[in-house]
Amino acid sequence: MIRFGVIGYGYWGPNVVRNLRKLERSQVTGICDKSEKSRRRAAQDNPGVPLTDDPAELIASPDVDAVAVITPVWSHFELAKAALEAGKHVFVEKPFTSTVAQAEQLIELAARRNLRIMVDHTFLFTGAVRKIRELIDEGTLGKLFYYDSTRVNLGLFQHDVNVLWDLAPHDLSIMSHLIAAKAQAVVATGEQHLNGHADVAYMTVYFPGNVIAHINVNWLSPVKVRTTLIGGEKKMVVWNDLEADEKIKVYDKGVQVANGQGLYELLVSYRSGDMWAPKVEQNEALSTELSYFLDCIEGGKNPHNDGGAGLEVVRMLEAADRSLSERGRLVEL
């Protein structure tokens, strides 16, 4: 039985607590939140679980084996560091940290103490992403050409970060998971209209082998869109996460370059076949992820969404910020 202390009971924290309590191998032995209102809500939802407004107290508790840090990004580093120093495993909300340097320090610390860090890239545990990964791994899509995501809606505005830090981590972690290569460089453009942070932004990530990723994030869109196109040489995928039933559509469409004879010859031919929507597992991703974290703690192995994976996302966000502030300058990673 692994005992968790959870810091942060705002929007996402209650889901982490609920899932940890439902799993058979874990329990929640402490919840911490600065806000009295949140603590009242925590008490109502979880009668009997000790509450505190002091993270240090929770981290120090001998009843806590692992700490879940479900707070705003600026506080991740201090809380995770304190937890690791106290010998506790850490589950951290994404993005992992505010800077690359912080992430590297936490990774080093965890390695030294032989503790696990898991960064909460929940999407990697959805049926949809698992299915796409499977399609790539088994060669169905063929060589990858591009990953192109649109993730827009009205709000929620964050006060301390721009729209890239709020919405892009989802895609950055997914794309890192799907594309078997390290990102090389980042270009980001965008604009701010309301509160001093970019609220509309576009990010291109260059990968080796002519693979390109693009992320369109926007807090000022009248409609919610969660659509990703993934182009491969053999097949192409449209993933619409707002669809209830057919989230993933695999198109048997492709392009072939043939030898043309002259200037006016058509050099490229198209193939257009069936479309296929594979059944996608309907699990609750967070539960699968936390269960996997328990495996990793018990087995003493690093999760694939460990500090290193979290660091990659932060590295790209940091580069994107720099590119954004210089209106699209290429930032090598």
Q: Footprint of its own copies on residues 173-192 (CB under 8 A)? A: 185, 187, 189-192
- Shortest separation between residue 96's beta carbon and its own copies, angstroms: 22
- Shortest separation between residue 272's beta carbon and its own copies, angstroms: 7
Which of 123, 202, 239, 293 is the binder for its own copies (CB under 8 A)?
202
- Count of residues that interact with its own copies, criterion CB under 8 A: 73
Transcribe 59-119 into DSSP letters: HH-TT-SEEEE-S-GGGHHHHHHHHHHTT-EEEEESS--SSHHHHHHHHHHHHHHT--EEE
- Shortest separation between residue 267's beta carbon and its own copies, angstroms: 5
Q: Does 99 bind its own copies (CB under 8 A)?
A: no
* Residues in contact with 122: Cβ distance below 8 Å, sequence separation at least 6, in sequence order: 94, 285, 286, 289
Which of 25, 234, 276, 295 is the binder for its own copies (CB under 8 A)?
276
Q: Does 328 bind its own copies (CB under 8 A)?
A: yes
List the Cα angle 96/98/101 in 5-degree steps: 90
b (16+ CB within 10 A) / e for 131-167: bbeebbeeebbeebbbbbbbbbbeeeebeebbbbbbb
- Shortest separation between residue 167's beta carbon and its own copies, angstroms: 14
- Shortest separation between residue 278's beta carbon and its own copies, angstroms: 5
User: Quick check: 2 and 29 in contact, CB under 8 A?
Assistant: no
Q: Select from 16-24, 169-177, 210-218, 311-319 the region that touches its own copies (CB under 8 A).
A: 210-218
b (16+ CB within 10 A) / e for 276-295: eebebeeeebbbbbbbbbbe
Q: Select from 54-62, 122-130, 154-162, 286-294 the region that touches its own copies (CB under 8 A).
A: 154-162
Near its own copies in 302-321, by CB under 8 A: none
Near its own copies in 134-153, by CB under 8 A: 145-146, 148, 150, 152
Pick between residue 38 and residue 61 the one whose CB is nearest to its own copies.
38
Q: Does 125 bind its own copies (CB under 8 A)?
A: no
Question: Which two three-digit tokens encode residue 199?
Answer: 């609220």
| Residue count (the chain) | 333
Which of 24, 270, 299, 300 is the binder for its own copies (CB under 8 A)?
270
Q: Count CB neighbours of 316 within 10 A.
A: 30
- Shortest separation between residue 212's beta carbon and its own copies, angstroms: 4
Amino acid letter, 28: V
Pick between residue 253 and residue 304 the one whose CB is nearest to its own copies.
253
Pick between residue 56 and residue 255 the one whose CB is nearest to its own copies.
255
Question: Which two three-digit tokens encode residue 253?
Answer: 């469409």
Write the binding mask 227 to 266 for its own copies: x where contact by CB under 8 A, - elsewhere.
Answer: --x-x----xxx---x-xxx--x-xxx-x-x--x--xxxx
